[in-house]
Chains A and B, each alone.
Chain A
């Protein structure tokens, strides 16, 4: 059994106590919520924090409230199980409920939180390995080394953004709130991410992600499709989130397409989204849009299955997500 490195565990009772502790402990401390990503990584020595600040008891990070008309606030500490089961989210923000329900296994969804999934460390099968393995092959720049083993000529790290909920939240145009002793800030979720496998978040070390805001939902439909080998447990090797708003006349009013697990950050398929807006969906158009969206997928050989395969599946999954939403639209019209 791999063992955790030694660390101190601090269990604040309030958000302000948590932010104070995080500031006092400095960059050697890390916040931990469900721990489903951090603790295995600590066992493999990707992280060796001196202290963990437990967020489990913070009431400020709990709760799902609001309505589809006004928008919904989700506490970052809500578990993935509660997100995936929530009737309001399932009915009005299905991309998020589906994505949360697609994370890992039931046991880990019971422990893992939405905030934790959003801030999931980027993944790479040269990096998510034991200390022994990484020592054996030579360390990479993301931890203990200086080069990228996937693309040795590259100056940057290509670890993959692998959180299921992230493309869903991007497609739903969510906003997030970060709190620290220095104050708080709110921003569109896209601004939380950076195209950098090593430092994939704009979150500062002393900040805690506290809330996720979803905008009003009327008129929107959304879905999330995940490519993985198995029905459970696996991280996505492709995540496709699509949100569409259709006009009365059948034209597409707005469209958001976000891809997960194709880069170090969630990727919005802007060209494809623009091509859809104001159009009437036809099979040919959807195929064209899917092909456009897939141009944004640049997989490297650092996740499951082959690069070619992951590349080939991107347009298929985008088109299937669009088909699902358009098909549902047509069905509801014929009702």
Chain B
């Protein structure tokens, strides 16, 4: 048992900070415009940088002439692909990007040259003066085109045509599973993909501080609107050939990311190189159009799903295929491909599961991770497919799901360890709160009413459930080090400074660190000073992706705080002449639990401890447990130290004459374990619901003649406040044994069920299925006209997802695996001595050997 856990197994008395709806620590500065974002940073002698981007979706670069640009007064540097030839990419397995195109451009927007100039006007003029001669190549703009034309290779390195990655898995006996089924159904679905549309566009400032005495020549600092300073640090260091020790990456206030700021970007690397060449700071701020072009958004995915069920709805086998349109580069795409198949068995207990996934390159902006990373698309397909199955079998969609829900503390067929799981409670809650049963019971009465054509509105209710990870179980590059670390320093005036690499992109991770340390040390959160997201100043945190920060940085923070608390309690016990284990910290003091009048102030305790031990600094760290996944190649995507669960009911009103869909209300139940701050959790749930709603009905990532058709936030539709449905957030679940204070994620999971719930509600309202996201009014109207045509009318056929026909065998070797193989590994549930009736007040995490990897103090 780890010593720090043993020392403070639980908190005496109710939480003082955790579970309270406190404002974010940076709320005031954010809403009053005082917060400093990357583009706010102005340094003396700063230059303005910008990128010349390809106007062609696919072309060979014949020549680049930068002479006129270089000769323009006020231009200090112009660089091209030759100057930064080193390849990079977020995943070690997909090193296919260069900061500026070398030989070839692969999408409209691919950077070709970069300029640093004294002002934005000169910059603009210089970019215009760069002459690039292109030999235009045929562009592949869809999954089908990419597969049909293997001879037009977007990446020479791709082993087979334009296939970036293909995987194939069989878990359990799929043939036997289908053979045991009473009924089998298959469907095709398409999810068009979309952009993150963070309100803050990407921006960065790079500063080079030359030092002739340093063999490297100087040190580089990069401030960037990024979710992953640590990974940017690695890649910039690699491309520029600057040792990591000489590079510092800082994420200032970030105005939203949603996954779109998780890659190392060309503009970051170019700003650094331009700063190094000119010896002056360089800022590059992207336009909104550039945000759409650098993208890394939700992959368009075409999906085929085949499920066998018993008459009662019990699933006997599922076969899932996904085809991802990756755009021009790899980005996170390998992980995304796996994610389209990984989490289905974490929601439903599948006895046999086959998954085949394939990602292709196309001449479009590269796709990457967006909130829910690779799982909203299959979630949409799966939950609509199950709704259809329920209809076919005449089963209640809730009953069908309940027959198949995963059980807490189990292993999935693909080897993933499931711990706490309140999925059934989520389902029960949304059903009860939405009046689901009453709504469906009164259906015939409503239909009689609409027989009088008073109103074209038809109402419907739909439902879906989902799962998400609380942090990726594996880092992006293979290593055994902690995923997150926290240092805390106490000063003799009672000040507390928390250092952590965690990057607050608006989700509130900095606030969560403050609450956790405040709770542990018994001080108010306002006392705590936070230094975050700075690769020099703060210990590592891998980044704000995969919903990992509260879980991982939170656990690291608890560990660091408890180590200090131990010192404080030791000196306080001596001074107060009471046993240390009968002391607790709270309200700015350390007090005797049995007689709270016997107490020392926090400051007194700090001074005593500093006198005894010297400077008071501690560290804590966290790495996920090892034995939470199978032992096959590719098992590293999907495992997580815990899973969140969500359920959603959508109430929609469809205008049967116009096809317009109004989502009147969303009920969203989310199993967050223990909410560290229920207000922030509700914010994440509402934000997810909002985003899911926009993806379901509006956002169109569409292309015209090889170009993004509508790269502006006027024409690219995200919902306004007037469109956003009423959202009822229901937090359920019990504290998770391994989460900090029992917390699980909230940032991504709640988005997942929203999209299929809306799709199912539309079907419930008007009886037509749109198996393609977004469900725009023209598609609904077309389906309605096809379904209800009058004699003599010749309506267009209803919208239908065109299947992908593969001429050859699936281009990946099949990997067969079964959980029996895990017997040698144990079931991964070390802490199954569950607390019987744990209330939030006494829900401190029990001992967990899984946390033993925490680093030394």
A contact set with B: CB distance below 8 Å: 1-3, 6, 105, 125, 128-130, 132-133, 135-137, 229-235, 304-306, 308-309, 312-313, 316
**Contact A125/B657 with A229-B698, A308-B778 known, Cβ cut-off 8 Å:** no
Q: How many residues of B contact A (CB 8 A)?
A: 38
Q: List the B side residues contacting A1 at CB < 8 Å.
A: 39, 201, 285, 287
**Contact A125/B710 with A230-B698, A232-B720 known, Cβ cut-off 8 Å:** yes
In the complex, which of the residues B121, B201, B714 contacts A233, with contact meaning CB atoms closer than 8 Å?
A: B714
Question: Which residues of B (739-776) have their CB < 8 Å from a CB of A?
Answer: 776
Interface centre among A132, A135, A306, A308 (most CB of B within 10 A): A132
Interface residue? B575 (CB, 8 A): no
Q: When the two chains form their complex, are residues A132 and B776 in contact, meaning their CB atoms are under 8 A apart?
A: no
Q: When the two chains form their complex, are residues A133 and B714 in contact, meaning their CB atoms are under 8 A apart?
A: no
Q: When the two chains form their complex, are residues A137 and B705 in contact, meaning their CB atoms are under 8 A apart?
A: yes
Question: Which residue of chain A lies nearest to B123 when distances are taken between CB atoms in the complex?
Answer: A3
Q: List the A side residues contacting B124 at CB < 8 Å.
A: 3
**Contact A305/B287 with A137-B705, A229-B698 known, Cβ cut-off 8 Å:** no
Apart from the given pairs A137-B707, A308-B778, 6 other A-B contacts in the complex at a CB distance below 8 Å? A105-B720, A125-B710, A130-B287, A231-B722, A309-B777, A309-B781
Q: When the two chains form their complex, are residues A316 and B723 in contact, meaning their CB atoms are under 8 A apart?
A: no
Q: List the B side residues contacting A232 at CB < 8 Å.
A: 720-723
Measured CA separation A91–B735 after assembly (Å):
58
Q: List the B side residues contacting A135 at CB < 8 Å.
A: 55
Chain A nearest CB, measured from B69 CB (Å): 16
Q: List the B side residues contacting A233 at CB < 8 Å.
A: 714, 720
Q: When the two chains form their complex, are residues A6 and B722 in contact, meaning their CB atoms are under 8 A apart?
A: no
Q: When the two chains form their complex, are residues B289 and A130 in contact, meaning their CB atoms are under 8 A apart?
A: yes
Q: When the two chains form their complex, are residues B121 and A6 in contact, meaning their CB atoms are under 8 A apart?
A: yes
Question: Which residue of chain A lies nearest to B718 when distances are taken between CB atoms in the complex?
Answer: A230
Interface string of B24-57 (1 = CB under 8 A from A): 0000000000000001000000000000010110
Q: When the two chains form their complex, are residues B723 and A312 in contact, meaning their CB atoms are under 8 A apart?
A: no
Q: When the two chains form their complex, are residues B781 and A312 in contact, meaning their CB atoms are under 8 A apart?
A: yes
Interface of A is mostly: loop
Q: List the A side residues contacting B721 at CB < 8 Å.
A: 232
Chain A nearest CB, measured from B358 CB (Å): 30
User: What are 29 A-B interface contacts by the 8 Å CB criterion?
Assistant: A6-B121, A105-B720, A125-B715, A128-B715, A129-B712, A130-B287, A130-B712, A132-B55, A133-B707, A133-B711, A136-B108, A136-B707, A137-B704, A137-B707, A229-B717, A230-B723, A231-B720, A234-B714, A234-B717, A235-B714, A305-B776, A305-B778, A308-B778, A308-B782, A308-B796, A309-B777, A309-B781, A309-B782, A312-B785
Chain A nearest CB, measured from B653 CB (Å): 14
**Contact A316/B658 with A305-B778, A306-B778 known, Cβ cut-off 8 Å:** yes
Q: When the two chains form their complex, are residues B707 and A231 in contact, meaning their CB atoms are under 8 A apart?
A: no
Question: Which residues of B (689-734) have their CB < 8 Å from a CB of A?
Answer: 698, 704-705, 707, 709-712, 714-715, 717, 719-723
Q: When the two chains form their complex, are residues B720 and A2 in contact, meaning their CB atoms are under 8 A apart?
A: no
Measured CA separation A105–B711 after assembly (Å):
19
Q: List the A side residues contacting B21 at CB < 8 Å.
A: none
Interface residue? B120 (CB, 8 A): yes
Q: List the B side residues contacting A125 at CB < 8 Å.
A: 709-710, 715
Q: List the B side residues contacting A105 at CB < 8 Å.
A: 720
Measured CA separation A312–B124 after assembly (Å):
44
Question: Which residue of chain A lies nearest to B289 when distances are taken between CB atoms in the complex?
Answer: A130
Measured CA separation A278–B776 after assembly (Å):
40
Measured CA separation A229–B710 after assembly (Å):
14
Measured CA separation A305–B785 after assembly (Å):
17
Q: List the B side residues contacting A304 at CB < 8 Å.
A: 715, 717
In the complex, which of the residues A3, A136, A231 contacts B120, with contact meaning CB atoms closer than 8 Å?
A: A3
Question: Which residues of B (432-487) have their CB < 8 Å from a CB of A?
Answer: none
Question: Which residue of chain A lies nearest to B201 when distances are taken between CB atoms in the complex?
Answer: A1
Measured CA separation A136–B55 after assembly (Å):
4
Measured CA separation A105–B121 after assembly (Å):
30
The 10 tightest CB contacts between A and B, nearest first, are: A231-B722, A136-B55, A309-B778, A232-B720, A306-B778, A232-B722, A229-B717, A316-B657, A231-B723, A230-B720
Measured CA separation A50–B659 after assembly (Å):
46
Q: When the two chains form their complex, are residues B719 and A132 in contact, meaning their CB atoms are under 8 A apart?
A: no
Measured CA separation A2–B778 after assembly (Å):
33
Q: List the A side residues contacting B287 at CB < 8 Å.
A: 1-2, 130
Q: List the A side residues contacting B289 at CB < 8 Å.
A: 130, 132-133
Q: List the B side residues contacting A312 at CB < 8 Å.
A: 781, 785
Question: Which residue of chain B lies nearest to A304 when distances are taken between CB atoms in the complex?
Answer: B715
Q: List the B side residues contacting A308 at CB < 8 Å.
A: 778, 782, 796
Q: When the two chains form their complex, are residues B777 and A305 in contact, meaning their CB atoms are under 8 A apart?
A: yes
Question: Which residue of chain B lies nearest to A233 when distances are taken between CB atoms in the complex?
Answer: B720
Chain A nearest CB, measured from B131 CB (Å): 13
Chain B nearest CB, measured from A155 CB (Å): 21
